[in-house]
Structure 1
Amino acid sequence: MKVSKEWLQEFIQLDVPAEELAEKITRGGIEVDELKDYTAEIKNLVVGHVQSVEQHPEADRLKICQVDTGDGTNQIICGAPNVVPDSYVIVCKVGGRLPGGVKIKRAKLRGEVSEGMICSLEELGINEDQVPSEYRDGIFIFKEEKTAGEDALRALCLDDQVMEFDLTPNRKDALSMIGVAYEARALFGGEVSLPEYGIDDAHLGDDAELSVDNEDDLAVPYYAARVVEDVKVYPSPVWMQIRLIKAGFRPINNIVDISNYVLLEFGQPLHMFDRQQIGSDKIVTRYAKENEKMTTLDGKEQTLKQSDIVVTNGNEPIALAGVMGGAFSEVTENTTDVVIESAVFDAFSVRKTSNRLNLRSEASSRFEKSVSHEFVLKALDRAAYLLQKYAGGKATSKVISAGELDVEDSTIEITEDYINNRLGMDLTVKEITDVLGKLGLVASEKEGILTVSIPSRRDDLKIKADITEEIARIYGYDALPSSLPEYSKITPGQLTDVQKKVRVIRHQLESLGLSQAVNYALTSRSQAGQFTEIDETLDLLMPMSEDHAVLRTSLVPHLIDSAVYNSNRQQKDVQLYEMGRIFIPRGEAELPLEKEMLAGIVTGDMHRTDWLGTKVPADFYAAKGIVETVFEKLGMSAHITYRPSSRLSEMHPGRTADIILENDTVIGFVGEVHPAYANENDLDSAAVFEISMGELLEKAQGEIIYQQLSKYPSITRDIALVVSSETHAGDLVETVQKTAGKYLHDVFVFDVYEGEHLEVGSKSIALRLVYLNKEETLTDAEVEDSYNPVVKALEAQGAHIR
């Protein structure tokens, strides 16, 4: 909503600068996005009287004009095709300025002196789309006689500042000049004056030839019309055109401009029908028939649904109610009689129709918020009054209507204590009623109960909290008392143990190159059962879409989707992690169990160094390495073991491991995605992991014990074992750790081989044992004493030394 201060002054007198007005309105709860000053960049702009026009001798498109600017006659060269003698125009004199930093100087054009510039509306900062068509390709010419030399901005009603409101959906009252006037009254005081809407009743009568009927009172609670005859279609007055332009409308003609002008005054959309083009003597409102056709004012044929409301001539639609009129009944240059429509339409239906057909209009934006009933008839009469005054029309009918117009005020009961308890204030009843009175809300008090009457223009006020909010914003949010919280014990601010661990996990994963992903907690029914053994799902009653119909039971499917999205855009190397919740159903009587999980995915290559030709494939070992570094950072490596797993059908059966916490508790899994599943999702390969955060965060970390680095050398022994293909390397490592004695410092697998020179069903596993004595140098004899029991234990386990 764009609000002109000059126009607003007609409704309420405001002796404050525009900047102060905008600031206080913003502090009162309506944000002023922009304050446009039409005078800001303009200097020496006057009305000029064109006395003569001659053809430029050296240019076909230029004309030499003699223009009286109030202080003498100046010669001005003009290229506009519509400049004519004895006309009043806008002139920027020598030394003047125009928007955009344009300076006007004395100049020569093709040998002829030019002292000034005759201006178009675009050159004054008016948007080209809002300029009337008759002036779009030329200069602006006043229709009435002016005084040469007078201030052109004042003559154009452009000596003005315009505020642009960013309104919240509940403040529909500020979508009209009257609504803004009431808001200004609440903030600055004064009285609101309504525009003149009394019509000349000399020609009024009962128009028996036109009738109105509403087939559905819920769709159209009230419909009213007036007939105005003998109108003449021509441009509307300059002041009306300029006010419409400042409000963001393009002037069309006096009939259409009056309907838009009244819409801005009262916030009540109107529609003007050509009486002769309606096609019958009755107007019938109803719901449209399925697939019914009509052509709207924009020239497009619309296919209607049964949820659309239409205004008809008894047979076919002549308007899409609350959205847009029909093409064949629109006002044209040949129109002589008009029917003015002012109605109340069902807000939900208008909004649904407008969104479906993508027909957004000033009318629909107001109807879909519901219009104020108190202005329906006032706007109708105001339009008829303006048609009489500026179109030469005669109102020949009284109001022709159907339905009931509810203009009764609603009431809200509230107490002084309710307001003060919520605002932390100590307002008296008089102070409360005074504030409400500024808003135009009448409040009466009886036995401690305040009864507040709510007019329909403020039907956004529905509950006691709304009244409290109105008092707070008008009283001034800055004036609300403030106090520090009371406290008796001061504690230092610090992170909890859980918060510290979460930060450690994030820092570690991001240092390894993984980026954090944040996905919806909602997923599709097909994905809900993937990468989990949970069979049940928690379905939403009214899902946004099929892709967001159930609560997720695993984080991995969404990470797969993210990897696919990147892969489809040539980003094959993806490393992502996510921390979030999964939801495990516990029956209809209980809320679902919410578990915090950590999940990740790696695809393509990791740590690629092209100039060295090195890279790490995103496979099981890469994912397992990432997980192990997290456990190491949390000090949990000693409590974690891995066990081969094939419980999840989406995971590779031979390259997946369950993650085991002590006491044989499975807290997650890590491994490669099954090739078939990867192919279905257009991924070459992918490795994923998912871990329950609860067990990670609840496990106490314990004390960290630091030891001095040994100054003595270590001794290594390598042992290659031939074992059954079913033997797990972890079992061999565990055997070594149990039997190697006190000098064993580390043991790890450094090679696994299957193939030629080995029997079928066998494999070779090579272990490296590292021995270290931190007190003195180890001898070979001491190492052998520790090494021999290891060999015997491994042989007893079925291993053979290669």
Structure 2
Amino acid sequence: MKVSKEWLNEWIPVDVSIDELSEKITRGGIEVDEVIDYTEGIKNLVVGYVESVEEHPEADRLKVCRVNTGEETSQIVCGAPNVRADSYVIVSKVGGRLPGGIKIKRAKLRGQVSEGMICSLEELGIPEDYVPKEYQDGIFIFNRDQNIGTDALSALYLDDQVMDFDLTPNRKDALSMAGAAYETRALFGGEVSRPGSPLTEHADNGDGAFSIKNEDADAVPYYGARLVKNVEIKPAPVWMQIRLIKAGIRPINNVVDISNYVLLEFGQPLHMFDRDKIGSDGIVTRFASQDEKMTTLDGKERSLMDSDIVITNGREPIALAGVMGGAFSEVTESTTNVLIESALFNPVSIRKTSNRLNLRSEASARFEKGVSHEFVPEALDRAAYLLEKYAGGRVIGGVVSDGELDLEDSEITVTAEFINSRLGMELSVAEIAESLSRLGLEAKTDGGSLSISVPSRRDDLKIREDITEEVARIYGYDALPSSLPEYSVITPGKLTDEQKKVRIIRHQLEALGLSQAINYALTSREKSKQFTDRTEGLELLMPMSEDHAVLRNSMIPHLIDNAVYNANRQQKDVQLYELGRVFVSRGEGNQPEEIEMLGGILTGEMNRTDWLGASVPADFYAAKGIADSLFEKLGLADNISYRQTEGYEEMHPGRTADIHLGGEKIGFAGELHPKFAEDNDLNRTAVFEINIDRLLDVKNGIIVYEQLSKYPTITRDVALIVERSVTADELIQTVRTAASKYLEDVFVFDVYEGDNVAEGMKSLALRLTYLNKEQTLTDEEIEAVHTPVLKALEENGAEIR
């Protein structure tokens, strides 16, 4: 909500600077997000009168104007297509300044002297989207006579600053000038002066009669309307247009502008119908029929649901209640008779309709929070009066309505003891009542108890705690006493086991040269099916785009996008990791399962040392090595195993392995399929993905340290001929099972396929390390342990070379 100080002063005079005003309002609980100063950077801006306009002799699109600025008449060259003689305009004189640091100097344009500049609203800092259509391609022209030479900012009501309120959802009362005025009164004192509506009701001669019927009181508790005849569609007064512009609304014409103006005054949305286009003498409100059709003001045909509220002429919808009007009943240049709507609608229904159709407006934003009952009839009268005054209309008859307005104040009872106990203060009943009265809340006291009457404009106040908050807010948060907490048991702050492990993971990955990436959790439908066996993802109802339509099932697709992005910018060596969540759909109506995952990608060369000409390729072993280092740091290396897999069509079938913790699969590591990598303009690329939740679930317990052995180790190398399909891990597990004791380590140090090895076979060499921590091993002891190992390998199909 943008609140103009000039407009606010009309409701309640506040003789303080904008800085003090905004600071106190912020301290009172409504954050002023920004202050827009329309005077900043402007100098020597006056109202000018264009006496004559002639074509520029050397340029088709330029005109030479004689402009009276009060003290003198100057020649100004102007390129605006709408400049004309006998008009009042905005002139920046020589020596003047405009926003953006623009200095106005005497100049020659195609041989003609130009002493100043005739300005458009955009050149004064008004965003183009807010400028009235008639002035968007040219200069601003006043629609009434002005005093020549006077300050143009004052004439334009731009000698002003505007506060942009960043409101929390519960403060709907501040979505209007009335609410801003009552808030200012509470903080600074004074009295709020509501604008009057001294309209004249004319007798109905019979041809304007109409009726209202609400078919469902839950959908529309109250619907009121007034008829105004013989209106003239024309621009609204300049002061009204500029106030709308400062509030972030583009002026259209006097009828539409009046409805928007009253909305900003009271927070009560109105709708203006062309009475002659409604198509009947009665308005009927109801819930829409399922799949009922209507065309809204934006020209789109909408398919409605039975939860949408519609305004009808008794047969078909003419407006989507609280959201948008219908196309055939809108006010146009030919409109002469206007029907003004002011109503209450079911907030939940309005919110659902607005969200489903993605139609957000100033009206729906207020209706979905619930409007104040007390302003419904007042806004209706105000709009009728303004149409009478600024559109030449005649108000016919009184208000025609159906339903009831609950204008009774609600009541909350609270004690001073209750408030003081929660604020830590010692306020008297009188002080509490005085603070509440500044908010416009009447409080009746009875001893230490207060009965507070709450008007509908503050129906966000429902319980005693709400009253306590209001007292603290108005009395001043700065006045709340401070005290140190009392500790009976002091516990040191520390990281949880999970937080420690996550820090270990991050530190280890970054120590190995990987950089962290952060991506959206949303991806495309196609990418949600990659690198996973899940074929369905959790889709959004209203995605931002097709690329962000589904919650991700894997971390890898986005990391590939990151690598491609870098490669396209000549960064060929990329090592990235990401910690985040994937989302497993559990069916419609159920919350998805969220799993914390670690993803990584390696492409190009790693650990490159140019002066040595050395580097490590981004292959399966690089990805596996990084994963192994993490498991080692977490103390889980002994429980990890790898098993070759072909379960991912995006991965290389011979260079991909599932990672198992115990007997459970927790991820995979491997190289991208060459075709998939080529399609993404990548060279040889390795990736890995690990379920971090499963790693964090493993509790290591107490770490037990062992003294380093003072006895030597003994190694034995074994060369085996095995089938090509046999994995090194299978052989290692066979060795570990067969070695009853003394086996300290076993690893592969050579793999060979080629000459002197049969087709379909491979030679694989293992190095076994034995150690007795209590004494030096003898050859006899080694043979006693090593012989069963060789026998077990042979029994499992291996041939000892």
- Bin the TM-score by the shorter chain: 0.7 to 0.9
What's the CA shift for 1:213?
1.1
Partner of 1:738: 741
Whether the 8 Å CA contact 2:635–2:700 is kept in 1: the answer is no
Partner of 1:114: 114
Whether the 8 Å CA contact 1:231–1:391 is kept in 2: the answer is yes
Amino acid corresponding to residue 327 of structure 2 in structure 1: A
What's the CA shift for 1:356?
2.7
Partner of 1:552: none
Deviations 1:88-118 (A, max 9, x none): 3222222111222222222334444333222
Deviations 1:58-113 (A, max 9, x none): 44544443333222333333344444444332222221112222222223344443
What's the CA shift for 1:375?
0.5
Whether the 8 Å CA contact 2:210–2:281 is kept in 1: the answer is yes
Counterparts of 1:566 and 1:599 in 2: how far apart (Å)? 11
Alignment of 1:352-367 (within 5 A): 352-367=352-367
Amino acid corresponding to residue 278 of structure 1 in structure 2: I
Flag the 1:788–1:423 CA change in 2: closer, same or farther, 3 A.
same
Flag the 1:568–1:106 CA change in 2: closer, same or farther, 3 A.
closer
Counterparts of 1:479 and 1:761 in 2: how far apart (Å)? 85
Alignment of 1:70-149 (within 5 A): 70-149=70-149
Deviations 1:490-547 (A, max 9, x none): 77765567754553344334444666889989xx9xx99x999xxxxxxxxxx99579
Extract unaligned runs of 5+ from structure 2: 542-550, 568-573
Whether the 8 Å CA contact 2:746–2:767 is kept in 1: the answer is yes
Partner of 1:539: none
Partner of 1:400: 400
Deviates more, 1:696-705 or 1:750-759: 750-759
What's the CA shift for 1:51?
3.5
What's the CA shift for 1:21?
1.1
Partner of 1:368: 368
Counterparts of 2:291 and 2:641 in 1: how far apart (Å)? 63
Counterparts of 2:421 and 2:479 in 1: how far apart (Å)? 16
Flag the 1:204–1:464 CA change in 2: closer, same or farther, 3 A.
farther
Q: 1:561 aligns with which of 548, 554, 569?
A: 554
Partner of 2:338: 338
Q: 2:700 aligns with which of 698, 701, 711?
A: 698
What's the CA shift for 1:14?
0.3
Partner of 1:750: 749
Deviations 1:148-194 (A, max 9, x none): 22222112211111112222222211111111101111111111011
Amino acid corresponding to residue 425 of structure 1 in structure 2: M
Flag the 1:193–1:206 CA change in 2: closer, same or farther, 3 A.
farther
Amino acid corresponding to residue 561 of structure 1 in structure 2: S
Extract unaligned runs of 5+ from structure 1: 533-542, 549-557, 586-591, 661-665
Partner of 2:732: 729
Secondary structure in structure 1 of the residue aligned to 2:485: coil
Larger radius of gyration: 1
What's the CA shift for 1:347?
1.7
Flag the 1:416–1:504 CA change in 2: closer, same or farther, 3 A.
same
Flag the 1:50–1:668 CA change in 2: closer, same or farther, 3 A.
closer
Deviations 1:762-799 (A, max 9, x none): 997644356899999x9xxx864554444544466575
Flag the 1:21–1:717 CA change in 2: closer, same or farther, 3 A.
same
Deviates more, 1:448-457 or 1:47-56: 47-56
Counterparts of 2:800 and 2:56 in 1: how far apart (Å)? 111
Flag the 1:266–1:486 CA change in 2: closer, same or farther, 3 A.
same
Amino acid corresponding to residue 732 of structure 1 in structure 2: V
Counterparts of 1:519 and 1:344 in 2: how far apart (Å)? 40
Alignment of 1:275-290 (within 5 A): 275-290=275-290
Whether the 8 Å CA contact 1:227–1:339 is kept in 2: the answer is yes
Amino acid corresponding to residue 477 of structure 1 in structure 2: Y
Partner of 1:482: 482
Secondary structure in structure 1 of the residue aligned to 2:398: coil
Flag the 1:798–1:631 CA change in 2: closer, same or farther, 3 A.
closer
Partner of 1:768: 767
Partner of 1:391: 391
Alignment of 1:603-614 (within 5 A): 607=606
Amino acid corresponding to residue 355 of structure 2 in structure 1: N
Counterparts of 2:107 and 2:581 in 1: how far apart (Å)? 71
What's the CA shift for 1:6?
0.6
What TM-score comes out, normalization by structure 2 length? 0.79
Deviates more, 1:730-739 or 1:384-393: 730-739
Counterparts of 1:368 and 1:267 in 2: how far apart (Å)? 12
Deviations 1:678-728 (A, max 9, x none): 99xx999976665844674332112364679x9x9x875534467998984
Whether the 8 Å CA contact 1:559–1:600 is kept in 2: the answer is no
Whether the 8 Å CA contact 1:244–1:250 is kept in 2: the answer is yes
Aligned identity (percent) is 57
Counterparts of 1:108 and 1:517 in 2: how far apart (Å)? 55
What's the CA shift for 1:234?
2.2
What's the CA shift for 1:616?
5.8
Whether the 8 Å CA contact 2:235–2:253 is kept in 1: the answer is yes
Counterparts of 2:245 and 2:630 in 1: how far apart (Å)? 64
Secondary structure in structure 2 of the residue aligned to 1:25: helix
Deviations 1:135-159 (A, max 9, x none): 3333333333322222221122111
Asked if residue 244 in structure 1 is aligned to residue 244 in structure 2, the reply is yes
Secondary structure in structure 2 of the residue aligned to 1:699: coil
Deviates more, 1:479-488 or 1:218-227: 479-488
Partner of 1:211: 211
Secondary structure in structure 2 of the residue aligned to 1:397: strand
Aligned length: 747
Whether the 8 Å CA contact 1:739–1:789 is kept in 2: the answer is no
Amino acid corresponding to residue 386 of structure 1 in structure 2: L
Partner of 1:536: none
Partner of 1:718: 717
Amino acid corresponding to residue 465 of structure 1 in structure 2: E
Partner of 2:66: 66
Deviations 1:410-466 (A, max 9, x none): 222323233223222222222222221111112223354332222111112222332
Counterparts of 2:667 and 2:8 in 1: how far apart (Å)? 69
Deviates more, 1:491-500 or 1:268-277: 491-500
Flag the 1:787–1:765 CA change in 2: closer, same or farther, 3 A.
farther
Amino acid corresponding to residue 768 of structure 1 in structure 2: R
Deviates more, 1:362-371 or 1:83-92: 83-92
Counterparts of 2:671 and 2:83 in 1: how far apart (Å)? 79
Counterparts of 1:723 and 1:43 in 2: how far apart (Å)? 90
Partner of 1:458: 458
Deviations 1:28-84 (A, max 9, x none): 222222211111111111222333444444445444433332223333333444444
Amino acid corresponding to residue 767 of structure 2 in structure 1: R
Counterparts of 1:737 and 1:613 in 2: how far apart (Å)? 40
Partner of 1:589: none
Secondary structure in structure 2 of the residue aligned to 1:482: coil
Flag the 1:207–1:165 CA change in 2: closer, same or farther, 3 A.
farther
Deviations 1:557-610 (A, max 9, x none): x99722245457876998757698999x9xxxxxx9x99988777788995869
Whether the 8 Å CA contact 2:620–2:671 is kept in 1: the answer is no
Counterparts of 1:489 and 1:212 in 2: how far apart (Å)? 68
What TM-score comes out, normalization by structure 1 length? 0.79
Flag the 1:579–1:175 CA change in 2: closer, same or farther, 3 A.
closer
Flag the 1:356–1:503 CA change in 2: closer, same or farther, 3 A.
closer
